[in-house]
Amino acid sequence: MRHLKFKEIDSTNTYLKREYQNFDNLTFVSTSFQTNGHGRFSREWFAKEDESLLLSYLIKDRSLIDNFSYISMFTAALIVKYLEDKGIKNVAIKWPNDIYVDGSKICGILLEGEIPHYLVVGIGLNLNQSNFNNFNLRHPATSLKMLSNGKNYSQEDETKSLINVINSFWDNFSNDWHVFDNFIKNHNYLKNMRVKVTNQAIKIEGIVEDIDSECNLLINNGKEIV
């Protein structure tokens, strides 16, 4: 395991995408501030200095890359465990890669890369924001500080402990792709909610029943489970 720390960088994901050839599997990159952080669908991902945990890690192990559909859900499961260990309640995974607490987003995960060469897993976890009033967000958001009566969190300490959780999981991983089956099913934020999902140009609308053991969302469209 290697951990590179920056004070400021364009984006920890972009850095690892540029440099992946120079680093090994499980290289972690964190920063205090990103000038060009991005989320899914190229949306801007902004946080003031020291307000967020901004972390990416590199995967180059072929057996992990070949199972890429599990990687962001497993990362989400590990982050849920890390939050629950801090005493945060009602933490859930909003399929495919957000983490919610009590109906508000606390963390987003962004998987990028080039299969079969490498994957970059980016994590943006809200730590010390007091509110999100100026963000014009599509969904409500929260932070660890907002969930802990205004307590401030050290970006450095939280980054280190989350890296420990993620690194020790993958270090001890023995290719059991079903270790999180029950945990993921039990933390399915969308369960019983009505959703609209587009899968390869096919629009599916219905009620979420479950997440299966291949990390697919199972939706009941009134006629069948798709």
Q: How many CB atoms lie within 10 A of CB 72?
A: 22
Q: For residues 206 and 221, what is the distance between their CA atoms, to the nearest angstrom?
A: 4
Give, as ranges, the residues between 61 and 90 that touch ligand BTN (CB under 6 A). none
x-marked contacts with ligand BTN along 92-111 as a string, rule CB under 6 A: ------x---------xxx-
- Candidates 4, 6, 39, 185; binder of ligand BTN (CB under 6 A) is 39
- Of the candidate spans 5-13, 129-137, 142-150, 199-207, the one that interacts with ligand BTN by CB under 6 A turns out to be 5-13
Stretch that binds ligand BTN, among 120-128, 144-152, 154-162, 181-189 (CB under 6 A): 120-128
Among 79, 101, 106, residue whose Cα is nearest residue 89: 101
Residue closest to 215 by CA, chosen among 108, 74, 113: 74
Residue 189 is a binding residue for ligand BTN (CB under 6 A): no
* Contact residue for ligand BTN among 56, 72, 128, 188 (CB under 6 A): 56
Closest distance of CB 143 from ligand BTN, Å? 14
Q: Are 187 and 93 in contact (CB under 8 A)?
A: yes
Does position 13 interact with ligand BTN (CB under 6 A)? The reply is yes
Tell me how far, at minimum, the Cβ of 139 lies from ligand BTN, in Å: 10
One DSSP character per residue, 65-98 reads: HTTHHHHHHHHHHHHHHHHHHTT--SEEEETTTE
Query: Which helix H or strand E contains 105, and what residues bound it?
Result: strand 104-114
Stretch that binds ligand BTN, among 51-59, 62-70, 72-80, 178-186 (CB under 6 A): 51-59
3-state secondary structure of 24: coil
Helix, strand or coil, per DSSP, at residue 114: strand
The answer to the question of residue 12 lying near ligand BTN (CB under 6 A) is yes
Judged by the rule CB under 6 A, the positions of this chain that interact with ligand BTN are 11-13, 34, 37-40, 43, 45, 54-56, 98, 108-110, 122-124
